Amino acid sequence: MSTSRKDFIKKLCVSGTCLCGFSSIMLTAKGNDNTNTETTSQNEGNQLIQEWISNVLSNLDIEIDKELIRGVLKKSSIVHYNNLKMDEMLSNYIGDLDKFINFIEDKWNWKIDYNKTTKTLIADENKNHCVCPISNYEKGINSSAMCFCSEGFAEKMFSTVAGIPASAEVISSIRRGDDSCKYKIKFQD
């Protein structure tokens, strides 16, 4: 299915996810109210943003082709990657995938199964909750499209460390009802 940018935005608005500027006006008005503390205002703003994003993602799953969503959200993952300064964090592991695997198993408590023959890695975050800081997770609200962003993040992270392109696929997700989030990472020749 081919969708133009105009059709994509139109579908967002039709599905109820278009802000049309009103939310930013409300956030600005709240921010100028002297009765609210800065922290309260910031928390309310963050909650609004998370709820809005969750709504967008839920509607994307319903309204738009899965592969189009995957492409957009994978590309969006670079914002979170750069915000965490991942290139700097990964610099000690570039070219040494085994050292990086040891690090994420030890420090992040991930479980890794790496088959060097098939150049396939299964990475289990080994947590019973979604660690995504972007959208909130409420039981019964499907925002599993965010998993495509995680695929992009994992691709960038493992490609950077290995020094070769990698593709990532979420094969298990808290947001999809699974026990933990798992990725299948396939390194290319």
176: CB partners within 8 A, 6+ apart: 144, 147
Q: What is the pLDDT of residue 179?
A: 92
- Ranges of each domain in the chain: 1-64, 66-189
85-98 in b/e form (b: 16+ CB < 10 A) is ebeeebeebeeebe
Confidence of residue 13 (pLDDT cuts 50, 70, 90): very low
Q: What is the pLDDT of residue 138?
A: 58
- Model confidence over 29-57: pLDDT tens digits? 444 445 455 666 677 767 787 777 777 77
pLDDT at 14 over 50: no
CA atoms of 127 and 72, how far apart (whole Å): 26
CA atoms of 85 and 75, how far apart (whole Å): 17
Confidence of residue 15 (pLDDT cuts 50, 70, 90): very low
- Model confidence over 165-176: pLDDT tens digits? 999 999 999 888
CATH topology classification for 66-189: Muramoyl-pentapeptide Carboxypeptidase; domain 2 (3.30.1380)
**Quick check: pTM over 0.95?**
no
